[in-house]
Structure 1
């Protein structure tokens, strides 16, 4: 079955980001990649754990993203942990740069995916959670889960 031109194929996600940060807004950015990196991404060999984005000198960069070396490549394989440039509009870079200079805000990648054959990364402007915030979130989730169990048990809508 052929895919539509607008379909999204998710390569990897950063699930821990939703636990560690309050997500304020998300933005889609392109990535500057080498050929072997694209082939490795298509096989799903990437990891966003402990990765982050920074704005430096009017350009956006992604740090700490691991893309495994492509196994069928010869001598010219890529460095798995290299810094990758992100493609954003100038106005977006300026806005995100000013927001990340504020205390407690950072740019966190949420997922890497392919859209219309192009590799994209979803960045989130996020504020770090404190330990007590995390406990509160877990407590709320546990309460809603328990309520759902009771509703299911007693057939309440």
Structure 2
């Protein structure tokens, strides 16, 4: 019967210094805040967060090449059997 608004504003339970530090890194260095895990504890939903930086172009090329090789191996095995 009681359904609170799902998109309501929620509090970030950190110290002011920690919030400022996260805000600075996100705005200046191009980092993003990524949820690592979500769990419940005593009726509260808790989220572990981390700062993450995007891949460089050479890293992307390596991962694309690995993925293409794996796809080709899978195709070859499928044709063989």
Same-fold status (TM-score > 0.5):
yes
The match for 1:113 among 32, 36, 39 is 39
* CA shift digits 1:91-133 (9 cap, x unpaired): 2112112111214211122221124x24311111111235663
RMSD: 2.9
Structure 1 unaligned spans of 5+? 1-73, 144-157
TM-score normalized with structure 1 length: 0.34
Q: Which structure has the larger Rg over C-alpha atoms?
A: 2
Distance 1:90 1:133, change over 3 A: same
- Structure 1 outlier segments of 4+, above 4 Å: none
Distance between the aligned counterparts of 2:45 and 2:20, measured in 1? 23
Structure 2 unaligned spans of 5+? 71-81
In structure 1, the partner of 2:48 is: 122
In structure 1, the partner of 2:21 is: 95
Number of residue-to-residue matches in the alignment? 67
Distance 1:83 1:136, change over 3 A: farther
TM-score normalized with structure 2 length: 0.57
Q: Comparing both chains, which one has the higher relative contact order based on Cα–Cα distances under 8 Å and sequence gaps of 6 or more? A: 1
Query: Which structure has greater helix proportion?
Result: 2
